[in-house]
């Protein structure tokens, strides 16, 4: 590991150096994940972590970045959050996954909905689209408990400030009513909330070219049902599941 950076009280970002002779194997499509393999308390543990940087960012210093949110009782996430240090060695398998959005020459309207650590593949997709498709528009609805538990808050705000005409960042907090005095931006993300937020943001659901959903499976299902009912083409809706059961509170 090259660097270990604390993002929130319960999340770290970890970067890996990619040796020159492995560059081709570790070339990735934004939205893909790496499989990490480590021996933890005598057990061989393998877990997936999404690459959370744009293609251009990865090209700058030849590193790959993942981020891990610590789950209660979790083997790998606790190890990444509490034990690993820069310089430690870990086995990393080549990028995998089809939660991707290859760049196009046309101008598109895209919407992403993420909750909690579900932001990791989404920030990679959003940032790459903003960098590689100068005519495309992205709306990101991102749910967290509080501003303090929000991963990549600074980076997302920086993107929102620097790409104001093309990137709309809409933050929803489930446990910080004082931070989001607006009832629509308070509570957990579900299909109805997404429907109302998009209506207010002026996004016409049937005209959206691509949807990217990442978070608890219950949120993904509910949002998909609502947007398809409002006219989204099901073929344009992609999702990534981190975990089958509902998270305690995203």
**Site residues (CB under 6 A) for ligand FAD?**
33, 45, 47-50, 66-69, 71, 73-78, 97, 117, 120, 240, 242-243, 247
Instruction: Say which residue the tokens 């909690």 belong to.
Output: 116
Sheet holding 43-50, edge to edge: 43-50, 33-40, 91-96
Cβ-in-10-Å burial (0-12, 13-18, 19+) of 181 comes to exposed
Distance CA 67, CA 1 (A): 12
Tell me the closest approach of the beta carbon of residue 99 to ligand FAD, in angstroms. 7
**Min dist. Cβ of residue 88 to ligand FAD (A):** 17
Q: List residues bridging with 67 in a β-sheet.
A: 13
Q: Give CA 78 to chain center in angstroms.
A: 20
- Name which of 158 and 243 has its Cβ closer to ligand FAD: 243
Nearer to ligand FAD, 37 or 195 (CB): 37
How far, in Å, CA of 101 to CA of 239, rounded? 12
Shortest CB 82 distance to ligand FAD, Å: 11
Q: How many CB atoms lie within 10 A of CB 123?
A: 26
3-state class (DSSP) for residue 56? helix
C-beta closer to ligand FAD: residue 20 or 154: 154
Q: Which is nearer to ligand FAD, 126 or 185 (CB)?
A: 126
**Number of Cβ within a 10 Å radius of residue 65:** 23
Which residue, 100 or 180, has its beta carbon nearer to ligand FAD?
100
**CB-closest chain residue to ligand FAD:** 74
Q: Cβ of residue 178: shortest distance to ligand FAD, in angstroms?
A: 27
Query: Of the two residues 95 and 180, which places its CB atom closer to ligand FAD in the complex?
Result: 95
Q: At what angle do helices 153-162 and 119-132 cross, to 10 degrees?
A: 20
Compute the least distance from the CB of residue 212 to ligand FAD, in Å.
Answer: 13
- CB of 58 vs ligand FAD, minimal distance in Å: 15
């Amino acid at each position: 590991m090259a660097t270990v950076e604390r993002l929130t009280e319960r999340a770290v970002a970890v970067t890996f150096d990619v040796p020159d002779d492995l560059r081709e194997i570790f070339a990735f499509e934004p939205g893909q994940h790496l499989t990490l393999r480590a021996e933890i308390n005598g057990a061989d543990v393998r877990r997936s972590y999404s690459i959370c940087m744009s293609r251009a960012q990865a090209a700058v210093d030849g590193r790959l970045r993942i981020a891990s949110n610590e789950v209660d009782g979790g083997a790998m996430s606790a190890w990444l959050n509490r034990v690993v240090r820069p310089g430690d060695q870990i086995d990393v398998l080549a990028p995998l996954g089809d939660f991707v959005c290859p760049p196009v020459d046309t101008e598109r309207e895209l919407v992403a909905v993420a909750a909690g650590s579900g932001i990791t593949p989404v920030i990679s997709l959003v940032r790459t689209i903003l960098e590689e498709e100068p005519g495309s528009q992205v709306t990101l609805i991102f749910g967290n408990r509080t501003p303090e538990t929000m991963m990549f808050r600074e980076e997302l705000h920086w993107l929102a400030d620097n790409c104001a005409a093309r990137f709309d960042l809409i933050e929803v907090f489930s446990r910080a009513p004082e931070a989001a005095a607006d009832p629509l931006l308070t509570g957990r993300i579900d299909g109805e909330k997404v429907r109302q937020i998009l209506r207010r943001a002026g996004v016409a659901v049937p005209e959206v070219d691509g949807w990217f959903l990442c978070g608890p499976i219950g949120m993904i299902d509910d949002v998909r049902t609502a947007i398809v009912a409002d006219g989204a083409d099901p073929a344009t809706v992609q999702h990534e599941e981190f975990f089958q059961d509902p998270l305690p509170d995203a």
